Amino acid sequence: MNLTIRNIPEEVINKIRTLSKVERRSLNSEILVVLEHGLNEKLGHMVYSRSNMTKELQVNIWRGLASKWEDDRSADEIIKDIYNRRTMGRDVEL
């Protein structure tokens, strides 16, 4: 698919040109990379229901989130914290 984008600010196109030179990519390839990274970042912060997402999108979002959690606490401390912050609801056996 071809797409024409008009009125790109000179400052933006200069940044993309610089990135394309540094990364040794064509301007077109660099624009695609920047778009993809931006979309992944944006989608990572949005909440979607399963009904409006494709399986491929769900997998890509999970892959983007994988190994991103950073915490100085141990797994046991994290689990304990989760249990302590739960609100009363239905009974669940684990």
Domain map (residue ranges) of the chain: 10-85
One-letter amino acid at 92 equals: V
Q: What is the pLDDT of residues 21-52, one digit of tens each?
A: 999 999 999 999 999 888 877 776 565 555 56
Please report the pLDDT score of residue 52 as a whole number.
66
CA nearest neighbour of 35 among 65, 3, 62? 3
Per-residue confidence band for 3, with pLDDT thresholds at 50, 70 and 90:
confident
User: What's the CA gap between 47 and 62, in Å, rounded?
Assistant: 12
One-letter amino acid at 40 equals: N
